[in-house]
């Protein structure tokens, strides 16, 4: 994939309300959003905001409500109650839709078309002029790493190529907000890195990216802020740094872990997990490690190591949604 060029498409649409709205407002503002499918409540009172230019990660287990949220932001699903705004406009407003690019999670493309034809179709739907299409389509194909494959039919594309052309149709009109639902699920590690680089390049030019992903390491590499959703509720949100930094933890390896040692350690913090020879302890201050290192030998235990642990996003995620169902 190649660098994003500095050439830009003309502002579209030109109506003043839409232009004014998108200049000043939050990229996404969701408040009190609820969606019920019959008896089943997919979203309960969802609240979140995304600033313009952010790469925002939306994480949650299967069935948590991620795709439902994206569909509401696109105006494809009507919320039962609450509000969803995109650059200050109601998500159901066609003006909002024009500012958004979307890559669905399980998309099917018209596979009798060539890559070029598919992008022509989407660029046409987005009102790009013939002249704009003539330079933008080859540029977008280059951006997603399909530079010389645009003349081939989609039925001959590999899974990874289909994912790339899906991404190309999402950005062909240079949207202000890109909604990506699991954008790298079909890609190999090289393709994933290329998509990450592309997302960073788009973000550096001011595109806001809302990313649904199960790939926590990917979210960790890309996102400024995240929200973790479970059973239709945001259970945690914030800057990624703050979430993974969080409260300190200690990993203690010793000759034997029994009920007595767990009770001793319980005086210093919360036992997060343990096995026969190690304990992971959540503490409020990591300096308590030196006291633990003195107390355990006095109680007859041999300590092999006692080290602070850097939490990963996966640790945070698992801690919050453990026990969740499909
Ligand atoms: N059209 C629908 N009719 C009935 N229930 C639905 C519909 N769409 C979604 N649901 C339900 O709403 C809940 C949230 O679904 P959603 O697709 O938003 O989850 P998700 O977080 O995107 O999951 P996944 O990670 O598996 O893609 C699920 O329980 C799902 O079964
Ligand atoms: Mg989904």
**pLDDT tens string 45-74:** 999 999 999 999 999 888 999 999 999 999
Report residue 15's pLDDT band, with 50, 70 and 90 as the boundaries: low
CA of 213 to the centre of ligand 1 (A): 15
What is the fold, at CATH topology level, of the domain defined by 247-310? Answer: Alpha-Beta Plaits (3.30.70)
* Rounded Cα distance, 115 and 11, in Å: 25
**Residue 246 vs residue 110, higher pLDDT:** 110
Beta bridge partners, 102, equal 179
Domain boundaries, the chain: 16-239, 247-310
Sole residue written with tokens 């959003």: 33
Ligand 1 pocket: which residues have CB below 6 Å?
37, 40, 42, 60, 62-68, 105
* Rounded Cα distance, 273 and 93, in Å: 49
Side by side, the strands of the sheet bearing 270-274 are 270-274, 278-282, 249-254, 303-309
Contact 47, 197 (CB under 8 A): no
- Give the largest Cα separation in the chain, rounded: 80
CA of 245 to the centre of ligand 2 (A): 28
Arithmetic mean of pLDDT, 89-95: 93
Q: Which of 138, 157, 226, 211 is nearest to 180 (CA)?
A: 211
Same fold, 16-239 and 247-310: no
Q: What share of the chain in percent tops pLDDT 90?
A: 59
Mean pLDDT of the chain: 88
Ligand 1 atom closest to residue 38's alpha carbon, by position in its atom list: 4
Is the bond preceding 13 in cis, omega lying within 30 degrees of 0?
yes
Task: Identify the CATH homologous superfamily for domain 16-239.
Answer: P-loop containing nucleotide triphosphate hydrolases (3.40.50.300)
* Rounded Cα distance, 93 and 272, in Å: 47
Arithmetic mean of pLDDT, 244-267: 90
Arithmetic mean of pLDDT, 91-117: 91
Q: Which of 181, 176, 147 is nearest to 166 (CA)?
A: 181
**Structure tokens, 81:** 């109650």
């Amino acid at each position: 994939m190649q660098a994003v060029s500095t050439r830009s498409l003309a502002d579209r649409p030109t109506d003043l309300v839409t232009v004014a709205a998108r200049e000043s407002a939050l990229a996404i503002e969701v408040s009190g959003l609820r969606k019920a499918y019959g008896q089943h409540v997919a979203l309960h009172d969802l609240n979140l905001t995304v600033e313009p230019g952010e790469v925002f990660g939306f994480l949650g287990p299967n069935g948590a409500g991620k795709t439902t949220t994206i569909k509401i932001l696109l105006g494809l699903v009507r919320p039962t109650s609450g509000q969803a705004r995109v650059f200050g406009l109601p998500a159901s407003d066609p003006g909002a839709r024009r500012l958004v690019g979307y890559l669905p999670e399980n998309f099917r493309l018209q596979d009798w078309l060539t890559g070029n034809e598919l992008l022509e179709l989407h660029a046409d739907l987005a009102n790009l002029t013939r002249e704009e299409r003539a330079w933008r389509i080859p540029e977008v194909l280059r951006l997603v790493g399909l530079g010389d494959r645009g003349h081939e039919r989609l039925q001959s594309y590999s899974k990874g190529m289909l994912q790339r052309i899906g991404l190309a149709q999402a950005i062909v009109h240079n949207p202000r907000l890109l909604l990506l639902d699991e954008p790298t699920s079909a890609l190999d590690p090289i393709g994933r890195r290329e998509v990450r680089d592309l997302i960073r390049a788009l973000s550096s030019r001011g595109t806001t990216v809302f990313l649904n992903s199960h790939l926590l390491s990917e979210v960790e590499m890309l996102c400024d802020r995240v929200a973790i959703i479970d059973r239709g509720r945001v259970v945690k949100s914030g800057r990624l740094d703050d979430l993974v930094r969080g409260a300190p933890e200690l990993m203690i390896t010793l000759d034997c872990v029994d009920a007595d040692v767990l009770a001793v350690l319980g005086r210093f913090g919360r036992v997060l997990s343990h096995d026969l020879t190690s304990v992971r302890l959540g503490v409020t201050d990591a300096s308590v490690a030196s006291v633990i290192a003195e107390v355990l030998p006095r109680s007859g235990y041999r300590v092999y190591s006692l080290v602070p642990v850097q939490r990963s996003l996966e640790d945070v995620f698992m801690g919050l949604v453990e026990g969740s169902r499909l």
